[in-house]
Amino acid sequence: MFANSKVPFIAIGLVVVCCFWFVTSSVYRYFSYNLPPQIELANFSSGATFCRELNFAVCAHNMYKISEIKVVVDGKDVDLKNARWVGSKNFEVPVVVDVSGFTDGMHQLEVGAVDASHHKNKCSNKFEFYVDNSPLRAAFIDPIFKVEQGHTLHIKVQANKRLAKAEVDFNATKYECFPDSKNSTVYECFIPIDCELPPIEYVLSANLEDCVKNVLKLAGQVQILAADFQKQRGFTVKKEKLEEEKEISASQKVLDEALARWLDQSPKEKMWLGRFELPINSKRMTTPFGEIRMTSELGRYMHKGVDLIDNPKAVVWASQRGKVIIKDRFAISGNTVVLDHGFGVFTLYFHLDSFADIQIGDLVKKGNPIGRLGMTGYANGYHLHWELRVNNIAVDPIEWTKSIY
């Protein structure tokens, strides 16, 4: 009986001990906790654009409860009403700010929190966001499109604001557009006109979307003009040389596959500045772009580059600033260097005698040596085959030495 009477006292004692431990530990944490609150924003990223309404949520997962939060836009407190006083470790407070009367452009958002400890630990995070309440307007800078086979169609669209997406649809192919310079609202793309594309009229459209999902479509007509490509009876390369090239060189198919892979990785920026330059001190051009050839080894084909003559083993230099993406030997093109100039614009240098001291991934400037004039590959004399491709379609490179793109 005496033993049974001790049970309530033990239970009461345990309760008292637990309460004392809880109170003292809580008091200790109240006076000693000194870590700043951790908060984050849901449905918001710095630099995002909003139309009419700024809508996000303030979230937290903390070791100590948060007493209050504060939201400031452009230096003015946002009225959160009762939601300001949270009194919790974990919470998600929705915030809606009417920005319909804000000016278009960049604005400042500041979100802060204060915890409920004795030290009132604070945190404050600042963000930038944009407001866009204007309708989307845009137009082609030059609405008349006429271009010869084998040339480059340069499309420019002037918008009244920055765009989230801009692409041109031509001949069942989409071409992504990019600002022509930093912070510009002029968007451009380069459309290669294959030298064998039928010379008729085509429909072209530009599909635009701004940062708040307004969309606009522009339409136009493109007239492809017939080019007067020359014809050549062809030439011969000794069988022994061709056999030797096959033994020591990679298949030309390897080059084609590599170019397709590199196109997907081409920088979405213009790496060049100004006109392209001839890559040698050319004495003359032996074969123009688009010449129709007939040879016993390759049959009928179009010459999709230009052949330039200089002294044997003369220095060949980069025609523009770019990145070395291919440096190898192939059965047809011989010692080959390919430079990526951004926006899917490549220059190719064939039949080199030797390579300069360059490596894959190197960034070379206009005029930097890349090799020496040779006759490796499918060639019967010293010359440079110089090619320029846009989206992996060859176009006349001489055009790029006369115009600034």
Q: Which residue ranges make up each domain of the chain?
A: 38-131, 138-225, 239-401
Rounded (to 5) percent helix, strand, coil in the chain: 15, 45, 40
Contacts of 4 (CB under 8 A, 6+ apart): none
**Number of alpha carbons in the 13 Å side-chain half-sphere of residue 273:** 4
**Residue 90 burial class via C-beta count within 10 angstroms: exposed 0-12, middle 13-18, buried 19 and up:** exposed
**Domains 38-131 and 138-225 equal at CATH topology level:** yes
Domain 239-401: top CATH class: mainly beta
The Cα 108–Cα 125 span in angstroms is 11
- Average pLDDT value for residue range 215-227: 97
Are the C-beta atoms of 195 and 149 separated by less than 8 Å?
yes
**Per-residue pLDDT, 60:** 84
The Cα 187–Cα 305 span in angstroms is 28
Highest mean pLDDT among 80-89, 161-170, 225-234: 161-170
**Per-residue pLDDT, 109:** 97
The Cα 15–Cα 7 span in angstroms is 12
Q: Which CATH number fits domain 138-225: 2.60.40.4140, 2.40.50.140, 3.10.129.10, 3.30.1230.10?
A: 2.60.40.4140
Are the C-beta atoms of 160 and 187 separated by less than 8 Å?
no
* Count of residues making up the chain: 405
**Number of alpha carbons in the 13 Å side-chain half-sphere of residue 189:** 22
Are the C-beta atoms of 58 and 69 separated by less than 8 Å?
yes
Contacts of 116 (CB under 8 A, 6+ apart): 64, 65, 66, 67, 87
Radius of gyration (C-alpha) of the chain in whole angstroms: 34
The structure tokens listed for 374 are 């040779």
Q: How many CB atoms lie within 10 A of CB 372?
A: 21
Residues of the chain above pLDDT 70, percent: 89
The Cα 186–Cα 215 span in angstroms is 16
Q: How confident is the model at residue 14 (pLDDT cuts 50, 70, 90)?
A: low
Q: ∠ at Cα 41 (39, 44), nearest 5°?
A: 160
Q: How confident is the model at residue 349 (pLDDT cuts 50, 70, 90)?
A: very high
Q: Is the pTM of this model over 0.75?
A: yes
- Average pLDDT value for residue range 189-197: 96
Q: Given a cut of 90, is residue 149 above it in pLDDT?
A: yes
Range 228-232 contact pairs with CB under 8 angstroms and sequence separation of 24 or more: 229/149, 229/150, 229/195, 229/290, 229/291, 229/292, 229/302, 230/288, 230/290, 230/291, 230/292, 231/291, 231/292, 232/287, 232/291, 232/292, 232/293, 232/294, 232/303
Contacts of 261 (CB under 8 A, 6+ apart): none
Place of tokens 């080199």: 352
Q: ∠ at Cα 185 (184, 186), nearest 5°?
A: 90
- Average pLDDT value for residue range 116-136: 94
293-320: pLDDT as tens digits: 776 666 677 889 999 999 999 999 999 9
- Average pLDDT value for residue range 82-101: 89
**Per-residue pLDDT, 86:** 83
Q: Which CATH number fits domain 38-131: 3.40.50.300, 1.10.10.10, 2.60.40.10, 3.40.640.10?
A: 2.60.40.10
Convert 36-59 to b/e letters by CB count within 10 Å (16 or more is b). ebebebeebeeeebbbeebebebe
Place of tokens 């490796």: 376
- From residue 218, alpha-carbon distances to 159, 170, 264, 329 in Å are 11, 12, 26, 45
Q: Read off φ and ψ for residue 298, nearest 5 degrees.
A: -110, -5
Identify the helix (H) or strand (E) that includes residue 312.
none
- Average pLDDT value for residue range 14-35: 67
**Per-residue pLDDT, 87:** 85
**Per-residue pLDDT, 5:** 55
Residues of the chain above pLDDT 90, percent: 70
